[in-house]
Amino acid sequence: MVESKTEQVTTFLAALDNGHREGFMTYAELTYSIYEIWLYASVLGYQGSFTALAEWVGKHYPKLNKRQLMLAEIVKLEADIDFLRQQVHADLVKPDAAATRIAHLSKELRGHVVEVDRMTKNFDRRGLILSGADKVMRELRAIFKGNDDVTEALDLAYESVWAALTDEK
Average pLDDT over residues 50-75: 88
Comparing 127 with 57, which gets the higher pLDDT? 57
Instruction: Yes or no: say if 119 and 70 are a contact pair by the CB < 8 Å rule.
Output: yes
- The half-sphere exposure of 25 on its side-chain side, counting CA atoms within 13 A, is 14
Question: Can you give the residue ranges of every domain in the chain?
Answer: 1-63, 65-148
Summarised one tens digit per residue, pLDDT across range 69-109 is: 889 999 999 999 999 999 999 989 898 888 999 999 999 99
Residue 154, pLDDT above cutoff 60: yes
The rounded distance, in Å, linking the Cα atoms of 109 and 117 is 12
Q: What integer pLDDT is reported at residue 156 of this predicted model? A: 82
Average pLDDT over residues 107-136: 80
